[in-house]
């Protein structure tokens, strides 16, 4: 009886595996038939090839797992994972334009924009800390994206090798000179990347209106050298120089220009809870950069806050909003 029970249990297990195999085969065949009625000759041939690959993948997985007496859940999970992997590979063969956010070396926040036409990729990425585009060119080879990074002089400075799995990208950033290797992890995002204005360099001035009580005579000159941006800020009493960076908020579709190294005139921070019994007034360090909303040919700086969040950025002007126009 024991031997018969073992035989019966083994037969049931094999029958379950066979049922899964038949269901998978029917799914592939049904998908194949529906696609045949919708696609023209070229697309039908391409679809047939893709369905055959899926069919082969499913068959190999099921047979392999059945030989090793794996469970039904394990079989289904592996089938799903391999179909997702196949879909990721198949998507690389199509033209696409996508945005990604993530990290390099797990701590450097970056944003990527990649566009592929016939397997040729053009795009850029930027460090969120700086916001300046870094040019990328590359191609799709063996179901992977091979990208070259170029500096301001159009010299190749790094290679990026990445592959996709669903909406995720992982790979490596490799320095061309030192071979320094850093991990890249990105996730696809539906958010739009706001392009930097085309003509950033120039002189931005405040407009003097004789009818206004408060007038400000200020100037910001922006220049570019070796791929980096610099400013010269002038008022009636100050002449300051420093680096420029950009804060590109892809969630709100806004760009802020940041003038590094200009200390705020006053800063009290959030004082909304100063009436609380346990409130302790602390001396806060003054921020050391001025930011302003940046549009084409225009910079707008909110110069001071309100009673609950009091600050003054530039004491050279008493206006709440200072507008610089090129």
Quick: pLDDT tens for 176-229.
Answer: 999 999 999 999 999 999 899 888 999 999 987 766 667 789 999 999 999 999
Strand partners, 184: 104, 171
Assess if residue 174 is contained within a domain.
yes
188: how many CB neighbours lie within 10 A of its CB?
16
Assess if residue 320 is contained within a domain.
yes
Cβ burial of 142 (10 Å; 0-12, 13-18, 19+) is: exposed
Task: State whether 316 and 207 are in the same domain.
Answer: yes
Is the CB of residue 193 less than 8 Å from the CB of residue 128?
no
Assess if residue 216 is contained within a domain.
yes
- b/e for 25-34, b at 16 or more Cβ within 10 A? eeebeeebee
3-state secondary structure of 317: coil
* pLDDT score at 24: 59
* pLDDT score at 86: 46
Q: What is this structure's pTM?
A: 0.68
Task: State whether 84 and 126 are in the same domain.
Answer: no
Task: State whether 218 and 316 are in the same domain.
Answer: yes
Task: State whether 315 and 233 are in the same domain.
Answer: yes
Residues sharing a CB contact under 8 Å with residue 203, sequence separation 6 or more, in sequence order: 219, 220, 221, 222, 326
* pLDDT score at 38: 41
Task: State whether 109 and 220 are in the same domain.
Answer: no
Q: What is the mean pLDDT of residues 29-49?
A: 49
* pLDDT score at 205: 96
3-state secondary structure of 47: helix
Q: How far apart are CA 259 and CA 294, in angstroms?
A: 12
Q: How far apart are CA 260 and CA 230, in angstroms?
A: 9
Task: State whether 101 and 169 are in the same domain.
Answer: yes
Q: How far apart are CA 255 and CA 298, in angstroms?
A: 11
- What CATH number should be reported for the domain holding residue 114? 2.40.128.20
Which of 92, 126, 159 is the endpoint of a domain? 92
Assess if residue 196 is contained within a domain.
no
Q: How far apart are CA 118 and CA 42, in angstroms?
A: 16
Starting at the earlier edge strand, list the strands of the sheet with 309-312. Answer: 266-270, 309-312, 304-306
Is the CB of residue 114 less than 8 Å from the CB of residue 129?
no
Task: State whether 313 and 212 are in the same domain.
Answer: yes
Question: Would the pLDDT of 166 be above 70?
Answer: yes
Task: State whether 208 and 160 are in the same domain.
Answer: no
- Alpha carbon 58 to its chain's center: 33
Q: What is the mean pLDDT of the chain?
A: 80
* pLDDT score at 10: 57
Query: 126, 92, 122: which is closest to 109 by C-alpha?
Result: 126
Task: State whether 81 and 110 are in the same domain.
Answer: no
Distances, alpha carbon 83 to alpha carbons 24, 71, 171, in Å: 12, 19, 21
Q: How far apart are CA 170 and CA 297, in angstroms?
A: 38
Which of 60, 92, 124 is the endpoint of a domain? 92
Task: State whether 141 and 63 are in the same domain.
Answer: no
Q: How far apart are CA 291 and CA 255, in angstroms?
A: 10
Residues 303-318 have pLDDT tens digits of 998 878 889 999 999 9
Domain count within the chain: 3
3-state secondary structure of 53: helix
Assess if residue 68 is contained within a domain.
yes
Task: State whether 294 and 265 are in the same domain.
Answer: yes
Which of 73, 92, 111 is the endpoint of a domain? 92
Assess if residue 57 is contained within a domain.
yes
Task: State whether 225 and 301 are in the same domain.
Answer: yes
Domain of 43, in residue numbers: 2-92
- Token pair 């301001």: residue: 152
User: Hey, what are 1's tokens?
Assistant: 């009886």
Assess if residue 194 is contained within a domain.
no
Assess if residue 252 is contained within a domain.
yes
Residues sharing a CB contact under 8 Å with residue 245, sequence separation 6 or more, in sequence order: 129, 130, 131, 132, 229, 258, 260
Residues 79-93 have pLDDT tens digits of 455 444 444 444 556
């Amino acid at each position: 009886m024991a031997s018969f029970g073992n035989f019966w249990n083994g037969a049931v297990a094999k029958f379950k595996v066979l049922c899964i195999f038949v269901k998978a085969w029917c799914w592939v065949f049904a998908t194949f038939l529906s696609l045949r009625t919708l696609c023209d000759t070229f697309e039908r041939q391409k679809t047939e090839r893709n369905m055959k690959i899926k069919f082969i993948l499913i068959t190999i997985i099921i047979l392999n797992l059945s030989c090793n007496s794996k469970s039904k859940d394990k079989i289904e999970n592996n089938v799903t994972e391999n179909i997702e992997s196949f879909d990721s590979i198949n998507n690389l063969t199509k033209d696409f334009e996508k945005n990604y956010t993530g990290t390099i070396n797990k701590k450097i926040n970056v944003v990527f924009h990649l566009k592929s036409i016939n397997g040729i990729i053009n795009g850029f990425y930027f460090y969120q800390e700086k916001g300046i585009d870094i040019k990328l060119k590359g191609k799709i080879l063996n179901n992977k994206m091979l990208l070259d990074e170029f500096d301001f002089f159009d010299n190749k400075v790094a290679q990026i090798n990445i592959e996709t799995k669903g909406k995720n990208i992982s790979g490596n950033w490799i320095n061309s000179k030192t071979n320094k290797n850093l991990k890249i992890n990105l996730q696809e995002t539906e958010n739009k990347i706001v392009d930097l204005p085309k003509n950033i360099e120039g002189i931005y001035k405040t407009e003097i209106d004789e009818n206004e009580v408060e007038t400000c005579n200020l100037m910001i000159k922006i220049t570019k050298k070796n791929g980096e941006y610099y400013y010269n800020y002038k008022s009636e009493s100050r002449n300051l120089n420093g680096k420029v960076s950009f804060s590109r908020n892809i969630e709100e579709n806004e760009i802020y220009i940041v003038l590094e190294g200009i200390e705020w005139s006053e800063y009290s921070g959030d004082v909304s809870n100063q009436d609380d019994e346990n409130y302790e007034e602390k001396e806060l360090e003054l921020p050391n950069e001025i930011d302003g909303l940046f549009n084409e040919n225009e910079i707008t700086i909110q110069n001071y806050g309100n009673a609950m969040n009091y600050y003054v950025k530039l004491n050279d002007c008493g206006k709440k909003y200072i507008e610089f126009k090129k």
